[in-house]
Amino acid sequence: MDPAPLKVYIVTILDCENEAHAHKLAEFLRASFPHGAEQTTDTPPINLTIMVKAESLESIQGIIWPVLGKARAVFGRDLIWLEDGKAQSTPPGNIRFEPPTNVAS
């Protein structure tokens, strides 16, 4: 049986304790999932946004919950991409996802 196709999620972490906390959360996500570039604010409140490909929302939650602390996670899914004026359920080819880095512990 084929594995379930990966879905694209936008993960936003709000109110990180500091920049180091945001970077730690990003590292855990990058290590666990194919991912796009992350965006982190550098002035309070510190927030992180990253796009990942995962089998389920629960798989993402399982990775970040142990290190989330007092920060809050918000997830976006079922994205619609517009390319050449047409709606698509998959990201266009110019949106790249890097493979997991497998360095978080």
How many CB atoms are located within 10 Å of the residue 35 CB? Answer: 22
Full pLDDT tens readout for the chain, 105 residues? 566 778 899 999 999 999 999 999 999 999 999 999 899 998 899 999 999 999 999 999 999 999 999 999 999 987 788 888 888 877 877 788 899 987 544
**Do residues 97 and 90 lie in contact, with contact meaning Cβ atoms separated by under 8 Å?**
no
Global pTM reads 0.85
Q: Find tokens 């959360």 and name the residue.
A: 25
* Residue 105 falls inside a structural domain: no
Query: Long-range contacts of range 36-42, CB-CB < 8 Å, 24 or more positions apart?
Result: 36/95, 36/96, 36/97, 36/98
Q: What is the CATH number of the domain that holds 73?
A: 3.30.70.260
49 DSSP β-pair partners: 12, 39
Q: How many domains does the chain have?
A: 1
How many CB atoms are located within 10 Å of the residue 86 CB? Answer: 7
* Residue 39 falls inside a structural domain: yes
Domain span at 67: 7-88
Write down the pLDDT at residue 1.
58
Write down the pLDDT at residue 87.
85
